[in-house]
Structure formats: structure tokens, C-alpha cells
A and B are shown apart, each in its own frame.
Chain A
Amino acid sequence: METQIEIFETPLNTQSCIEWIMSPASGGIDVFIGTVRNATKGKMVLKLEFEAYKPMAISEMSKITQQAFEKWPVQKILIHHRTGTLQVGEIPVIIAVSAAHRDAAFDACRYVIDTLKQTVPIWKKEFFEDGKVWVAAHP
């Protein structure tokens, strides 16, 4: 039950995540890669800025991985998250999960990204041609 949880200010490296998550005991790995989309509700997005409350974000991500280990027979979980300014197509988040069998890897990977979006203190600001907005801040 190994984890690798990190927040980077530099571009994330998908290949190094896959290399870390693979192991001879695994029968499947599941990798989720979040990417910056070029539009929100039909409005063109120019770029995103991510900010993290780093020590608490690491702590909350660690809790999520522990919950996933309790819920599914998975072997390793990796969470890498970016901060700073990201352009369209760049990668803010990578989740990778390995397990003996694919069902657990798929389910745990989905749980990790879904829960991360609900509880981990990281914020994104969207920049449009006519302004900027902190995502989800207002009802």
C-alpha cells in the first residue's frame, strides 16, 4: 500500500507516474489525467491559475488514499497536482492506481479524483477574454 502524493509548480510528467505505479504484482493500472479545457459553458478559456494550501492539501489527499485502500484491494496510489498558471491542454492533475485486477483500479481511481474535487484545498481561477472567476466560489 504505497502512495506518492505531490504538488508541483512545474509541468507534470505522465510517463514517470506510469513508471512509478507499475509493478510485477499488478494486473492493471488505471491513470486519470485531468487537462485544461478550452471552454466553460461555451465561453473560451484563455488559461487557468491553480493555488493550493499545500500542507493541508497533502494531508487531505493522504486521507483519500487511505480511504481508497480501505475500500478496494489496490496496491499503489499516486496523486500529482499542479499549481500556478496552466495553458489550455496542460495537465493540472494525474491520478494513478494499480491493483491485481482492473475493477478495483477503476473504482479507486474514480473515487480519488471525485473526492479530491470535493475536499482538497486547491482552487482554480478561470481567465476569459472579458474577465476572470474563481471556480465554484459563488452559488
Chain B
Amino acid sequence: MELNILAFGIAKDIFGAPSVIVNLDEGADTATLKTLLETQYPRLKQLASYMVAVNNEYAQDENSISERDEVAIIPPVSGG
């Protein structure tokens, strides 16, 4: 499946765009997505941490992703 990944904060700088498209198997889990993104964008590994959000909720590594989900990369937050 083709998945549109939204990026915010420093993740947007790392991707060079507010969103990128990646190819993943339907139902792939969050950990697989992170591994793929880290291969394509090694600077992600230099972050203090980052999370994946699926449909506006923080996702765990084992959560699976489908084509219709809204997926975002959440680098360390710093609001307030």
C-alpha cells in the first residue's frame, strides 16, 4: 500500500516536506514503518525520540497500519 506520512517540527525538516509517501505491506506494523523511514531518512535516528501517531492517537510498535489511516511522525514535543 502507498501510505502518506505527515511530518511535523524537525521531522518536516528531515523529510524536506510536510508529508512523504512510503510503500508498505497492508497491515504492516508501526515498528516496520519506523525501520523503513530510518533507512530512508537516517537523521530520524539522531532524535532524542519520536513517536508514530495513527488517526490522532499515539501508536505502539505492534499496532498495524492500513491504507486509510492518517499517519504522522511526532518528534519530541515542546509546546507550552
Residues of chain A from 113 to 139 with CB closer than 8 A to chain B in the complex: 113, 116-125, 134-139
8 Å CB contact of B72 from A56, A120, A123, A135 = A56
Contacts A56-B53, A138-B47 given; does A120 touch B74 at CB 8 Å:
no
User: Is A51's CB within 8 Å of the partner chain B?
Assistant: yes
Residue B78, interface by CB 8 Å: yes
B76 touches A136 (CB 8 A): yes
The yes or no answer to A55 lying at the interface (CB within 8 A) is yes
The number of chain A residues with a CB under 8 A from chain B is 29
Question: Taking each of A93, A117, A135, A137, which has the highest tally of chain B beta carbons within 10 Å of its own beta carbon?
Answer: A137
Chain A residues with CB below 8 A from B2, complex form: none
Interface 1/0 per residue, A27-56 and B, CB below 8 Å: 000000010000000000000001111011
- Residues from chain B with a CB closer than 8 A to the CB of A120 are 77, 79-80
A59 part of interface (Cβ distance < 8 Å): yes
Contact of B76 among A34, A53, A137 (CB under 8 A): A137
List A contacts of B10 (CB < 8 A). Answer: 123, 134, 137
- Tell me if A138 and B9 are in contact (CB < 8 A): no
For the complex, give the distance between the alpha carbons of A4 and B51 in Å. Answer: 27
Closest to A133 in B: B10
Across the interface, B77 reaches (CB within 8 A) one of A55, A59, A92, A118, namely A118
Contact B72 A116 (CB under 8 A): no
Given known A134-B13, A134-B75, contact A51–B8 (CB-CB < 8 A) = yes
